[in-house]
Structure 1
Amino acid sequence: SLTKSVQFIIAICEKILNKYGLNITRELVHSQPAYIEHQQKLQEKNNTDEEVSEDQTFEITEKQISNWFDKQASDLTEQLLAKLRSTDPYKFEHMMVQLLNQMGYKGTDGQSLVTQKSNDGGIDGIINQDPLGLQTIYVQVKRYAENNVIGSPEIDSFSGALRRKLADRGVFITTSSFTSGAKEAAKQLNIALVDGEMLTNLMVQYKIGVQVQQTYELYDIDDDFFEE
């Protein structure tokens, strides 16, 4: 440290004073072997500190970049969820069926549709996984606010709609969340649940309602290439 260096120089000056009297010059102090050795050690320490500092700066910067991307993803899902909650309910139903299609549930030759606004019988979307409709998934969606949580009565009602269709499977999608009772009922009734958090993550993953703004690639040496 600076204090130790000053103390060291004072000690050298005291030795020179005892040897040369008052004829002390800057050049005389700097020519002393002890001073030269001390300066060399300081320089080596500074070089080491600079190397460590550079490494730490790179690590911190890389971590900051990762944190920045994580925050961007988190902000995006929050914005997307807010956008979904303000979307027209009928348009929202179309979006959800489109998402399930993109996820592959429609199959290669299947078809999907959104039911009429009136007389939907508790079913908002129908996905036929094969051309003959022998394997069908029924969908119910609820564009709810965050505090409007789905409970077991809504799951039981959807289950009743499925039984009327002689269906054995269904998907319940909401922009809010499910109570523990609703989750337990869904397990017993073979109903898949998608809450707001899972919904936005799926939409980002399958690029529904979002688009890639920019792509960055990180390269590394291909050691296998050089070993061939």
Structure 2
Amino acid sequence: MSDAKSKKDLIPKQGDMMFPILRIMLRISKRDNEEFIPNKKIFSELTKEMNISPIAQSIHYDNDPSRPKIAYNYFEFALNRLRTAELIDRSVASHCKLTPNGKSFTEKYKGIENPDHKDIFALPEYKDNQKKQRKTKKKEEELGEQNTNVLDQINKSVEEYNNNVKEQLRNYLFSDGSEGAYRLEDIVMKLLKKMGYGRDDDDDESYVTQRSHDDGVDGVIYQDVLGVSKIYYQVKRYNSDIQESQIRDFIGTLGTYFSTNKGIFITTSKFTKGAKKAAKRGDIRLIDGDQLLELLFKYHVLIEEERTLPIYRLKKDEDDD
């Protein structure tokens, strides 16, 4: 037998605590003239009456300090059972009082040694409330399942709505002929800055290159806010896939004119396998059309949040002793 298990055996079971709790509450109410008695006061007297040692009181579930202490948790369970039997009233947080039924029931068992807690479970009030609790729990589970279904429908509708916006955005990127291509270069610059590229001061030298005279490079931006190094990028507004030769040409341009092999190649279409392999041979980051749309959404470029819908759930307050 483990040490933890042997210590746990020193703690009385929930059912065994129930009659002692009733006796203690009756005694305190008469002795101290208290109606609602603090739970901790009841527990303190219970530990003395049932010889629950300080060591036993300190044991946590699984010996995990972040979890409740077993003895006090058993005590709470016992209180809840007594409330279900309508023998105690827990309407005041962290306090209990005997109901009229609780007083007469406790007096009835006065002098009886080791009364059986099953007598409490046999009370009509306990049985009726147990049935109500089971019905309530079933109803809560049904409502919870309905809420889950509603949330799933909401999420699906939001996803469909956003996908439609993405298609609108995709069409916008292809609009306005050649001027649209130049506009896309500006959009990419704005996106990269939102992603954290570029210097965050007046000395930022990020720029979109001169139209049609860019030597295969559409923009230049600092890699970080300190301006340690520059990143060169090319943007292709194509319907057809980007080929390996186009990546090789881009790498060649970077080496010939800018003495680097580091760059970003962005397209509204896709990359062939050959293009992807060529990019790996250099230090080229590829962004295809789908990834571009995701990034524009993520960093709120050309889109904005239309509305926020508050969705609520039930938060149950428990006694906090």
- TM-score, length-normalised on structure 2? 0.50
Counterpart secondary structure, 2:216:
coil
CA distance in 2 between counterparts of 1:150 and 1:209 reads 25
**CA separation of 1:56 and 1:85: change in aligned 2, threshold 3 A:** same
Q: In 2, distance between residues paired with 1:64 and 1:120? A: 49
Higher relative contact order (CA 8 A, sep 6+): 1
Contact 1:111 1:130 in 2 (8 A): no
Aligned pair partner of 2:213 in 119, 124, 127: 119
Q: Which residue of 245, 263, 283 maps to 1:153?
A: 245
8 Å CA contact 2:199–2:225 kept in 1: the answer is no
Residue 281 of structure 2 is aligned to residue 188 of structure 1: yes
Shift of 1:218: 3.5
Q: In structure 2, give the amino acid aligned to 1:158.
A: F
Contact 1:186-1:193 at 8 Å conserved across structures: yes
Percent same amino acid among aligned pairs?
Answer: 37
**Is residue 142 from structure 1 mapped to residue 231 from structure 2 by the alignment?**
no
1:74 aligned residue: 163
User: Post-superposition shift, 1:108?
Assistant: 2.5
Contact 2:209 2:218 in 1 (8 A): yes
User: Which residue number in structure 2 is paired with residue 13 of structure 1?
Assistant: none
Deviation at 1:63, TM superposition (A): 1.0
CA RMSD, Structure 1 to Structure 2 (Å):
3.0
- In the TM superposition, what whole-angstrom CA distance separates every residue of 1:51-73 from its partner, at most 9, and x where no partner exists? 47645433321210111111122
TM-aligned CA deviation for residue 216 of structure 1 = 2.2
Change (3 A) 1:170 1:227: farther
Q: Which of the numbers 155, 175, 181 marks the counterpart of 1:89? A: 181
Contact 1:177 1:196 in 2 (8 A): yes
Q: 1:131 to 1:82 in 2, by over 3 A?
A: closer
Provide the C-alpha distance between the structure 1 equivalents of 2:269 and 2:189, rounded to a whole number of angstroms: 18
Q: Which runs of 5+ in 1 are unaligned?
A: 1-46
Is the contact between residue 231 and residue 262 of structure 2 (CA under 8 Å) also seen in structure 1?
yes
Distance 1:227 1:188 in 2: 62
Mapping of 1:1-228 within 5 angstroms? 51=139, 54-87=143-176, 88-109=180-201, 110-129=204-223, 134-145=228-239, 148-164=240-256, 165-219=258-312
Question: Using a 3 Å threshold, how does the CA distance of structure 1 residues 85 and 205 change in structure 2: closer, same or farther?
Answer: same
CA contact (8 A) 1:90 1:117 kept: yes
In the superposition, relative to structure 1, how do residues 58 and 120 fare at CA in structure 2: closer, same or farther (>3 Å)?
same
Letter in 2 for 1:79: Q
**Counterpart-to-counterpart distance in 2, 1:112 and 1:221:** 51
Aligned residues: 179
SS state of the match for residue 82, structure 1? helix
Given that 2:198 and 2:225 are in contact with CA atoms closer than 8 Å, whether structure 1 keeps it comes out as no
Q: Which letter maps to 1:107? A: R
CA distance change for structure 1 residues 115 and 132 in 2, over 3 Å: closer, same or farther? farther
- Which amino acid counterpart does residue 245 of structure 2 have in structure 1? P
Q: In 1, distance between residues paired with 2:229 and 2:206?
A: 12
Which consecutive unaligned segments of at least 5 residues does structure 2 have? 1-134
C-alpha contact (below 8 Å) 1:111/1:129 kept by paired residues: no
